[in-house]
Amino acid sequence: MNRRSSPLFVALVFAALALFPLVAGNYGIDFVTKVMIYAVLALSLELLVGSTGLVCFGQAAFFGIGAYATVLLSPQSGAPSLLWLLPACMLAAGAYALFVGALSLRTKGVYFIMVTLAFAQMAYYVVHDTPLGGGTDGIYLYSKPAIGAWLDLDKPLTLYAFTLACLLAVFGFLALLLRSRFGRALAGIRVNEQRMRATGFSTYPYKLAAFVISGALAGLAGFLFAVKDGYVNPEMMSWHLSGAVLIMIILGGLGHLRGALIGAFAFALLQEFFKSEAIFGGFAKHWHLGLGLTIIASVALLPRGLVGVPGQVRERLVGKGMSSRRADASEVRNEHA
């Protein structure tokens, strides 16, 4: 997919999401709301992995902190104001990201991956083994946030529209950020950090800022998830979720914001497909196997992810065209000979 077609593709995706409630039932609206939340989470990780080259395996911790903050800061009676609750949840996730990033960014490679995983597991066991997070049973959100009577997130359609607005805002924010001087510095760090240092850039503050922004955006996704389900549990912070989000952005195509969108929807649809008992019968309980094999095949056959499919098709067609022209020229030469 070339750069000219990318804005059109993104516009069509968001237009389709805006019109989807007109043709969908309650299940469809709930499902797409969940996928859009995961798309926000995938975009937050794309900032680190695809744009900065930092493979973080603890994104679920920031997601879970945002979700738990939503429940813990909400009163049991009366709807909390969205105007202060949402920024507070993002601030809580961003604060933990600042703490984790300040320490983990002093390491590199596999050590960075392991340190971020360790901090995520620490957060997991805090809510799993203490009364703060309700232990393994989790805790319930008794009253969902609102702004007066006109924006009540307890209504599915209102929550859908608000989640879509958040997804659009995050996508637009990251698109502008990556086109700024800050974004170009992150791209330089991803390509060659040593060269960036040699040109006078102090790369550590840039990486830390990206880490904090990513954590805060993951906290936004956690907030939306807690509001949607009205319930949080420690599994939201497990390493399985961090791995799933990493698969989403790889499946969609690293280095592209639209790849995070495509990957989140593709991953969720593949899950639903392999879980379908109507299609696979008893094999549906082994859906992890089918999903895993499909992802392995996708990575092997689509090294640039799903966003690279149009380019690969174009290259194949151009290659075939050149081969046929060479064959025709060879035939002409043979005839003249």
Identify the CATH number of the domain in which residue 148 sits: 1.10.3470
Q: Is the pLDDT of residue 330 over 80?
A: no
Do residues 202 and 318 share a domain? no
Burial label for 319, CB within 10 Å (0-12, 13-18, 19+), is: exposed
Do residues 311 and 291 share a domain? no
Do residues 168 and 258 share a domain? yes
Do residues 94 and 151 share a domain? yes
Q: Are 81 and 203 in contact (CB under 8 A)?
A: no
Q: What does R_g of the chain's alpha carbons equal in angstroms? A: 22
Q: Cα separation of 211 and 49, whole Å?
A: 10
More confident residue, 328 or 90: 90
Do residues 123 and 184 share a domain? yes
Q: Are 59 and 101 in contact (CB under 8 A)?
A: no
Do residues 313 and 297 share a domain? no
Do residues 218 and 330 share a domain? no
CA nearest to 68, candidates 140, 4, 144: 140
Q: What is the mean pLDDT of residues 7-19?
A: 90
By mean pLDDT, which of 55-64, 287-296, 307-316, 324-333 is the weakest? 324-333
User: How many separate domains does the chain show?
Assistant: 2
Q: Is the pLDDT of residue 2 over 50?
A: no
Do residues 201 and 323 share a domain? no
By mean pLDDT, which of 125-129, 252-256, 258-262, 304-308 is the weakest? 304-308
Do residues 66 and 207 share a domain? yes
Which residues constitute the domain of residue 320?
Answer: 305-337
Question: Has this prediction a pTM greater than 0.85?
Answer: yes
Per residue in 263-294, pLDDT (tens digit) is 999 999 998 888 887 777 777 788 888 888 88
Computed over every residue of the chain, the mean pLDDT equals 87
More confident residue, 329 or 241: 241
Do residues 133 and 268 share a domain? yes
Do residues 329 and 242 share a domain? no
> How confident is the model at residue 159, as a pLDDT?
93
Exposure class string for 52-80: b at 16+ Cβ within 10 A, else e: bbbebbbbbbbbbbbbbbbbbebeeeebb
Q: Is the pLDDT of residue 328 over 70?
A: no
Do residues 222 and 311 share a domain? no
> How confident is the model at residue 332, as a pLDDT?
39
Per residue in 146-202, pLDDT (tens digit) is 887 778 888 899 999 999 999 999 999 999 999 999 999 999 999 988 898 888 888
